[in-house]
Amino acid sequence: MCGIIGYVGHRPLEDCERLLVAGLEKLEYRGYDSAGLAFISGASVEKVRAIGNLEQLKEALHAAGLDHPVGEEGSASTGIAHTRWATHGRVTEENAHPHSDASGEVEIVMNGIIENHTELRRSLEADGVAFSSETDAEVISHLIAAEFDGDLTAAVRAANTRLRGHYSFVAMHVSLPGTLVATRCETPLVVGVGDGENFIGSAIPAFMAETRNVLEIENGEIVTVGADTIEIEASDGSPVQREPELVTWDEEAAEKAGYETFMMKEIHEQPEAIAETILDRLSGDASIDLSDVGLDDDYLTNLRRIVVVACGTSYHAGLVGRYAIERWARIPVEVDIASEYRYRDPVVGPGDLVVGITQSGETADTLAAMRLAREAGATVLAVTNIMGSQATRDSDAVLYTRAGLEIGVAATKTFVAQVAAMYLLALRLAELRGTLDPGELAALVADLRSIPDKMDRTIDSVSEMVVEIARRHADQKFFLYLGRHIGLPVCLEGALKLKEVSYIPTDAYAAGEMKHGPIALLDESTPVVCVATDSPILDKVLSNIEEVKARGADTIAVATEGSDRVAEVVEETIFVPETDWVLQPLLAILPLQLLAYHVARINGLNVDQPRNLAKTVTVE
Ligand code: AGP
Residue nearest (by alpha carbon) to ligand 1 atom 6: 312
Q: Does 363 sit in the ligand 1 pocket, CB within 6 Å?
A: yes
Name the E strands within 254-371: 305-310, 333-337, 352-358
Told to judge if 615 belongs to the known catalytic residues of this protein, a careful annotator would answer yes
Predicted confidence band at 619 (pLDDT cuts at 50, 70, 90)?
Answer: low
Residue nearest (by alpha carbon) to ligand 1 atom 16: 358
Mean pLDDT of 417-421: 98
pLDDT at 286 exceeding the cut of 70:
no
pLDDT at 210 exceeding the cut of 90:
yes
pLDDT at 540 exceeding the cut of 70:
yes
Residue nearest (by alpha carbon) to ligand 1 atom 12: 358
Q: Are 46 and 75 in contact (CB under 8 A)?
A: no
Q: Does 359 sit in the ligand 1 pocket, CB within 6 Å?
A: yes
Residue 553: CB atoms within 10 A of its CB come to: 23
Residue of 363, 401, 502, 593 to mutate, ligand 1, most atoms within 8 A of C-beta: 363
Higher pLDDT pick, 619 / 398: 398
Side-chain half-sphere CA neighbours of 609 within 13 A: 0
Per-residue pLDDT at 178? 95
Output the CA 310–ligand 1 centroid distance in Å: 9
Residue of 314, 315, 415 to mutate, ligand 1, most atoms within 8 A of C-beta: 314
Q: pLDDT digit string (tens) for 53-106?
A: 889 999 999 999 888 887 777 777 999 999 987 777 888 999 999 999 999 999
Q: Does 389 sit in the ligand 1 pocket, CB within 6 Å?
A: no
Catalytic residue (one of 2, 16, 185, 530): 2
**Beta-ladder partners of 239:** 233
Residue of 395, 617, 618, 620 to mutate, ligand 1, most atoms within 8 A of C-beta: 617
Mean pLDDT of 12-19: 92
pLDDT at 141 exceeding the cut of 90:
yes
Mean pLDDT of 495-524: 91
Q: Are 48 and 62 in contact (CB under 8 A)?
A: no
Atom of ligand 1 nearest to the CA of 313: 8
Residue nearest (by alpha carbon) to ligand 1 atom 9: 312
Distance in angstroms (rounded) separating the CA atoms of residues 328 and 258: 41
Output the CA 280–ligand 1 centroid distance in Å: 26
Q: Does 313 sit in the ligand 1 pocket, CB within 6 Å?
A: yes
Q: Is 135 helix (H, G, I), strand (E, B) or coil?
A: coil
pLDDT at 285 exceeding the cut of 70:
no
Q: pLDDT digit string (tens) for 443-478?
A: 999 999 999 999 999 999 999 999 999 999 999 999
Told to judge if 2 belongs to the known catalytic residues of this protein, a careful annotator would answer yes
Q: Which of 287-296, 319-328, 366-375, 376-385 has the lowest mean pLDDT?
A: 287-296
Count Cβ neighbours within 10 Å for each residue of 38-71 and write b for 16 or more, e otherwise: bbbbeeebbbbbbbebbeebeebbeeeebbebeb
Q: Does 312 sit in the ligand 1 pocket, CB within 6 Å?
A: yes
Output the CA 398–ligand 1 centroid distance in Å: 18
Q: pLDDT digit string (tens) for 562-588?
A: 888 999 999 999 999 999 999 999 999
pLDDT at 530 exceeding the cut of 80:
yes
Q: Does 500 sit in the ligand 1 pocket, CB within 6 Å?
A: yes
Output the CA 360–ligand 1 centroid distance in Å: 8
Mean pLDDT of 528-555: 91
Per-residue pLDDT at 284? 64
Q: Are 136 and 113 in contact (CB under 8 A)?
A: yes
Q: Does 410 sit in the ligand 1 pocket, CB within 6 Å?
A: yes
Q: Where are the alpha helices (DSSP H) in 550-606?
A: 564-569, 585-602
Distance in angstroms (rounded) separating the CA atoms of residues 97 and 486: 41
Residue nearest (by alpha carbon) to ligand 1 atom 2: 410
Q: Any idea what DSSP says for residue 325?
A: I
Atom of ligand 1 nearest to the CA of 617: 10
Residue 240: CB atoms within 10 A of its CB come to: 15
Residue of 270, 319, 355, 360 to mutate, ligand 1, most atoms within 8 A of C-beta: 360
Q: Does 311 sit in the ligand 1 pocket, CB within 6 Å?
A: yes
Per-residue pLDDT at 518? 82
Predicted confidence band at 523 (pLDDT cuts at 50, 70, 90)?
Answer: confident
Output the CA 582–ligand 1 centroid distance in Å: 23
Tell me, letter by letter, the H, E, C secondary structure of 145-211: HHHCCCCHHHHHHHHHHHCCEEEEEEEEECCCCCCEEEEEECCCCEEEECCCEEEEECCHHHCCCCC
